[in-house]
Structures are given as C-alpha cells and as structure tokens.
Amino acid sequence: MLHPWYRGRLERRMVGSTNRWRFPREPFSGDLLGLSQMCKALNVDFEEVLKDPDRLYVSQIQKIFSRNLKNKTIQSREADVILKCLGSTWELHQPHLFQSETLAKLYLMALSQGTTSPTKELERLRQAQLCGSVQERPPIKKMIISLKINDPLVTKVAFATALKSLSLSEVEMNMDDVLGVLASAHILQFSSLFQRCVAMMMNGLTPTTIKSFYLAGCKYKEEQLTTACEKWLEMNLVPLVGRQIHLRKIPQELLHRVLRSPRLFTFTEFHLLKTLLLWVFLQLNHRIQTVPVHETVLAFFNSFPKKYSFLDQDTGQSLMPLFLCVRLHGIIKGKNLEELRHINFFPESWLIRVTANHYHALESGGDMVHVKDLTTQAMRFGLLFNQEYTTHSEMIAVYGFFFEIKGIKQDTTSYSFYMQRVRHTDLEFPSSVCKHGPVSLRVERLVKYEIRAQTLVDGKWQEFRTNQITQKFGFVKPSCKSHALKIQTVGIPIYVSFSFIFPISR
C-alpha cells in the first residue's frame, strides 16, 4: 500500500499527441516541455501561463464549458452569477461567463474566497460539465462579482451587447455600436467577439469611420485592423476622402504612413498635393464645416508673411515630413507650378530644383536624369474604373510626349489596362492637353513603367501588377502600345495606377 502522498504524486495525465506526462496537482512538475504541449493543446500562450498558472486551469474549464454552451436548459435555469459594472447589475449563467477570461478570473477569485478548498470546487465544476448533464449538477449559490471599467469607449449599451454575446452566438450589432462592443470585448477578454467586431469594422470603413477605427486598432494593438485602415486610405485618400470635410479627422501619423506607401492611388501628383493642402487648411481652420473651393485654400496660404515659406515657419515645420513624400517633379504643368510659387508654401530651393530638373529634361529630349528609382520617384497617373464603364481613358503629356492611359472591360469580370503613345496631331482635344506646352518630334522614347490595379473583394484587397518594364515607344503598332495588364475580378471600382520614368536614352 502506498502512502496517500505518493498516490497523489503518481496521478498523471497524458498531454498532446506525444507520450509526455505531467502531474495535475502541481502547476509545472519540473516538466516545461509537457507544460508547453499542454498549452498548445488548449491554445493558451505558454509565456502567459508561466506568469499566471491559473490561466491554464481557466482555459481547461473554458474548453469543457464550450461543449455545453448550446444546451438550451442553461437558458431556462435561474442565473447563478451577478455582475456589477457601470452602475448596473447583470445576471449571468456560470457556463457562459467562462468565454470571458476576465469574468472567469473574477469568478474564480470569488470562488476561492467563498470556500476552503477552491481546487476541489473547480474540480467538481469540471466533472459536472464533463458528465454532460446540466440538470443533474448540484445547485450552486449565487456568486456576486464586480468589474470596474475606465475605458471611455465602453457604453452601457455596448457592454450589454457584449454580455448578451456570451449566451447567443450571433447578436445583432450596428456600425454605431461596434466600437463600444470592441472595447467591451477587449476588457472582457472575449476573443471571438473581439474578432467579430474587427471583421465588421474592416468591412465598414468609410470617411466617417476611418479615424475612430484606426485609433481603436492602435489602442488595442490590433494590427489587422490598422493595416486594413491604411490600405483603404491608400486607395480612397484622393478620390473620396479628399473631397469631404472628414479629411480633417485623418491623424497625421496615419496620413504620413499612407503617403509613403508605393500603393497610394492618385489621379495626378497635383491632385495629391491639393488634397494635402486642403488637409492642412482644415487643421488650421477648425470652424470651417464645408469643403472650400481650391481658390480659398490658395488665398489662405497666400496671406502668410512672405519673408519665409509656410513650411519654413513654425506652423509648417511639423508638416515637413508629409510634403517630403510629394513628388514635386511629377507636377509638370506650368500653370500648377506658378500656383505653387504664388502661395509661397514650399521653400524656394525646392521649387528652383524642380524647375531646373524640368529644364534639363526638356533640353535632353525628355531624359529624367534626376530620377532613378521607379518605386519611389516615378510620375504617377491613375484611372478609377467604375461599374458603368466599358472603356475609360485619359490623355497625359510629359515633356512633349503624349500618352493615353486606358482601361477596357472585356466581359463581366475581365479587364485590361495599358498605355499607348499618340501623336499630338491625333489628339481629340489637343488644346486641353498641349496648349502652351512643348511637343517632341522624337520618333522613339525609352520608358520604364509599371501598371498596377487594386480592388476590394469580400473585405480583402486584390492587387494585380505588371513587372517593371523598359520599352521604346514609337508612333506605330506594336511599339506604340505598352504591355497590357489583364485581370479577372468581381471587384468594383478598380483603382489603376500607371507609374513611369524616362530613363537616359541609349
């Protein structure tokens, strides 16, 4: 006969798919490998368990209770846990609260205070659930637990929704409440509800929600959500948000990250610059509640002292990183460049450098000696291909060379996008493209380019792109036409970006 102490020591439990063993009545038993395997089996963080051994037992009970949560008899029983929070009282059923790590810990703490042997009480709960009969479980007195919440995002309505989700798998949520439910799920450590909120927010990004959803992602360290916000704004900053008063709400840090992205969509570089100037204007004019016309923005910046440029003054110093992301050499129309000089926004040295580069490029037959990297320095032009289009194109002029960027819808899900060189005499509206501009008579023009198309499908961004291609463009086929980017997608609209530089001709 063994001594009872030795008998207890020899009770062992197999863990995982290997023959590792551990002693259940001691947290670790010196067997870290066995503990690690048990954590994997229960989907629990190993390092967290080392810091808090109770977490492992909570996870065991969570796993057991989850098997019986759909048992309808639970709903008919009288509530056995009282939660006091946010000045209100909620009645809960014990098996449900174990979906929340926070409530589970509070319950276990209350249980340990109300019994001389909390371990035996937990084992009794575990065995009662394992037997699969809720009705046969002995009655348990009502336990009162309290939770203090300091997160301003948590409202009573949102918290009630989160608690309701403990017992119902699909509680209805609207977009107005999802932020508060997310915050409640974070405090409750209710992971399945938290991820459901994240998915809902990722699919509900709009100019009105982008700021609050992005800040929530940062606050709760949810990288999936912050990345979704960044990708959404990369596509919609210029064509959508830049035309609404909600542009004011975009945090500078988020704006900077988007401007640095090679995926950023814009119609032209000047469109992007106008959006940034409007953002700065709205930051400095809080009372403005409607989007002003561009001339109003220009007049505002022109009102500053002329001794220094706006970016050199105290007000503009902190904004310098944003405007360093703008490719000023991509602004090539004389009218637009004159506009920038007139408002005295950029340091004079920047504008002199841009003008000098344009002059040297024209003098060299279009060669962009100052531009080397296609990814970070290319001229950018964009097409927004909407549902009603079967074809859509724009004409662009660069240093006397004329190109048509074009998209064609082949069928319901097939599209092709390309660019082609055209003669200035063939332009349908020559005055709008080349009025007061140079015209190059060179037969060939070496171009390095890339075409990229992006669209949103079922909450995920699809991206299609060509390689970086170097090609000589002539006036006749096939040399006048670029490689076509052919895609298959059900997404709409499609954001198509054409990036190119003119390398030094050989």
Q: For each of the chain's 506 residues, which pLDDT tens digit applies?
A: 444 444 444 445 555 555 554 444 444 445 556 556 655 654 556 566 555 655 555 555 555 454 444 444 445 467 778 899 998 998 888 778 888 889 988 888 887 775 555 555 555 655 555 555 444 555 556 788 899 999 999 999 999 999 999 888 788 898 999 999 999 999 999 999 999 999 999 999 999 999 999 999 999 999 999 999 999 999 999 999 999 999 999 999 999 999 999 999 999 999 999 999 999 999 999 999 999 999 999 999 999 888 899 999 988 999 999 999 999 999 999 899 999 999 999 999 999 999 999 999 999 999 999 999 999 999 999 999 999 999 999 999 999 999 999 999 999 999 999 999 998 887 665 555 556 678 888 899 999 999 999 999 988 999 999 999 999 999 988 889 999 999 999 999 999 999 999 999 86
First-to-last alpha carbon distance for the chain, in angstroms, is 95
Label residues 56-83 b or e (16+ Cβ within 10 Å = b): bbbbbbbebbeebeebeebeeeeebbeb
Instruction: List the chain domain ranges.
Output: 54-61+79-118+142-204, 379-501
CB 375 within 8 A of CB 447: no
Q: Which residues, other chains included, contact 27 with Cβ-Cβ below 8 Å and sequence gap of 6+?
A: 53, 56
pLDDT computed for residue 71 by the predictor: 46
Name the maximum alpha-carbon separation found in the chain: 107
Is the torsion defined by CA of 276, 279, 284, 287 positive or negative? positive
pLDDT computed for residue 168 by the predictor: 83
Is the full-model pTM beyond 0.85? no
Q: Which residues, other chains included, contact 117 with Cβ-Cβ below 8 Å and sequence gap of 6+?
A: none
Q: Alpha-carbon Rg of the chain, whole angstroms?
A: 32
> Which residue, 164, 23, 174, is CA-closest to 99?
164
Residue type, 133: S
CB 361 within 8 A of CB 368: yes
Instruction: Please say whether the structural domain 54-61+79-118+142-204 has been given the CATH code 3.30.710.10.
Output: yes
Instruction: Copy the structure tokens of residue 290.
Output: 């409607």
CB 310 within 8 A of CB 316: yes
Question: Could you tell me what percentage of the chain is helix, strand and coil, using 3-state DSSP and rounding each to the nearest 5?
Answer: 45, 20, 40
DSSP 2: -
Domain 379-501 fold is 2.60.210
User: What is the rounded distance in angstroms from the CA atom of residue 380 to the CA atom of residue 399?
Assistant: 15
User: What is the rounded distance in angstroms from the CA atom of residue 160 to the CA atom of residue 184?
Assistant: 9
Domains 54-61+79-118+142-204 and 379-501 share a fold: no
